[in-house]
Amino acid sequence: MTTTDKPYGADHFGFDTDQVHAGEIIGDGFGARITPINLTAGFVFDSFDHAKARFEGDDGAWVYTRNSNPTNAVVESRLTALEHGVDSIVVGSGQAAITVAMLAILKAGDHFLATRSLYEGTKTLFRDNFGRFGIEVEFIDDPHDLAEWQRKLRPTTRAVYSEAIPNPKNDLIDFELVAGFAEQAGLPFIIDSTAATPYLLRPLDHGASVVVHSASKFLTGHGASLAGVIVDGGSFDWGRYPQKFPQFSTPAADGSTYVSRFGAEAFTAYARSIIAARLGPVLSPFNAFLLLQGLETLSLRVERHSRNALALATWLERQPEVVSVDYSGLASSPHHALAERYLPKGAGSVFGFTLAGGQDAARTVIDAVELFTRMTHLGDVRSMILHPATTSHAQLSAADRARQGIDDGLVRLSVGIEDEADLIADLDHAFSVLRSSQPALAATR
Ligand SMILES: Cc1ncc(COP(=O)(O)O)c(C=O)c1O
Distance CA 278, CA 255 (A): 23
Q: Is the pLDDT of residue 59 over 80?
A: no
Question: CB atoms < 10 A from the CB of 202, how many?
Answer: 22
Q: Give me ligand 1 centre to Cα 94, in Å.
A: 5
Q: Tell me the best of 98, 119, 211 to mutate to test the pocket of ligand 1, counting ligand atoms within 8 Å of each CB and taking the most.
A: 119
Q: Indicate if 330 and 246 belong to the same structural domain.
A: no
Among 250, 274, 295, the domain boundary falls at 295
Query: Based on the domain organization, do 73 and 222 belong to the same domain?
Result: yes
What's the 357 CA to ligand 1 centre distance in angstroms?
29
**Residue 10 forms part of a structural domain:** no
pTM of the predicted model as reported, rounded to 2 decimal places: 0.96
Average pLDDT along the chain: 95
Residue 115 has a pLDDT of 98
Side chain identity, residue 65: T
* 252 shares a domain with 326: no
pLDDT at 150 over 90: yes
Please name the residue whose Cα sits nearest to atom 7 of ligand 1.
94
Task: Evaluate whether residue 163 is within a structural domain.
Answer: yes
CA-nearest residue, atom 10 of ligand 1: 94
What is the 268 CA–ligand 1 centroid distance (Å)?
A: 21
Q: How far is the CA of 58 from the centre of ligand 1 (A)?
A: 36
Confidence of residue 442 (pLDDT cuts 50, 70, 90): very low
| Number of domains into which the chain is organized | 2
Over its C-alpha atoms, the chain yields an Rg (Å, rounded) of: 23
Residue ranges lining ligand 1, Cβ < 6 Å: 93-95, 119, 121-122, 163, 192, 194-195, 214, 216, 226, 228, 378
CA distance linking residue 374 with residue 356, whole number of Å: 21
Asked if residue 114 and residue 249 are part of one domain, the reply reads: yes
The preferred substitution site among 115, 191, 192, 217 for testing ligand 1, maximizing ligand atoms within 8 Å of CB, is: 217
Confidence band for 439, pLDDT divided at 50, 70 and 90: low
- Residue 444: per-residue pLDDT: 47
* pLDDT tens figures, 199-236: 999 999 999 999 999 999 999 999 999 999 999 999 99
**Residue 428 shares a structural domain with residue 344:** yes
Q: What is the pLDDT of residues 321-361, one digit of tens each?
A: 999 999 999 999 999 999 999 999 999 999 999 999 999 99
- Taking CA atoms only, the protein residue closest to ligand 1 atom 6 is 94
Q: Are residues 231 and 329 in the same domain?
A: no
Q: What is the 3-state secondary structure (H, E, C) of the chain?
A: CCCCCCCCCCCCCCHHHHHHHCCCCCCCCCCCCCCCCCCCCECCCCCHHHHHHHHCCCCCCCCECCCCCHHHHHHHHHHHHHHCCCEEEEECCHHHHHHHHHHCCCCCCCEEEEECCCCHHHHHHHHHHHHHCCCEEEEECCCCCHHHHHHHCCCCEEEEEEECCCCCCCCCCCHHHHHHHHHHHCCCEEEECCCCHHHHCCHHHHCCCEEEEECCCCCCCCCCCCCEEEEECCCCCHHHCCCCCHHHCCCCCCCCCHHHHHHHHHHHHHHHHHHHHHHCCCCCHHHHHHHHHHHCCHHHHHHHHHHHHHHHHHHHHCCCCEEEEECCCCCCCCCHHHHHHHCCCCCCCEEEEEECCHHHHHHHHHHHCCCCEECCCCCCCCCEEECHHHCCCCCCCHHHHHHCCCCCCEEEEECCCCCHHHHHHHHHHHHHHHHHHCHHHHHCC
Nearest to 407 by CA among 399, 417, 419: 399
235 in the same domain as 318: no
| Backbone φ and ψ of 422, nearest 5° | -70, -40
- Ligand 1 centroid – CA 205 distance (Å): 22
Closest residue by Cα to atom 16, ligand 1, is 119
Range of the domain at 390: 299-443
**Residues 280 and 324 both lie in one domain:** no
Residue 120 CA to ligand 1 centre (angstroms)? 9
Assess if residue 29 is contained within a domain: no
Of the pLDDT bands very low, low, confident and very high (cuts 50, 70, 90), residue 135 is very high
Domain boundary (295, 328, 360) is at 295
Residue 242 sits in the same domain as residue 389: no
Q: Which of 249, 277, 295 is the last residue in one of the domains?
A: 295
Q: What is the pLDDT of residue 97?
A: 98
Q: Which of 129, 167, 193, 194 to mutate to test the pocket of ligand 1 (most atoms within 8 A of CB)?
A: 194
- Distance in angstroms (rounded) separating the CA atoms of residues 322 and 320: 5
Question: Ligand 1 centroid vs 384 CA: distance in angstroms?
Answer: 15
Sequence-distant (6+) residues with CB within 8 A of 41 are 64, 65
pLDDT tens-digit map of 2-52:
444 444 555 579 999 999 999 998 877 888 999 999 999 999 999 999 999
Q: On the CB side of 120, how many CA atoms lie within 13 Å of its CA?
A: 18
* pLDDT at position 61: 82
pLDDT over 70 for what percent of the chain? 96
83 assigned to some structural domain = yes
CATH number of the domain bearing residue 286 = 3.40.640.10
Mean pLDDT within 170-186: 98
Q: What is the pLDDT of residue 440?
A: 57
Rounded mean pLDDT of 386-415? 96
The reply to whether 152 and 275 lie within a common domain is yes
**CA 114 – CA 98 distance, rounded (Å):** 13
Q: What is the mean pLDDT of residues 150-172?
A: 98
Same domain, 228 and 125: yes
Ligand 1 pocket, mutate which of 163, 191, 214 (most atoms under 8 A from CB): 214
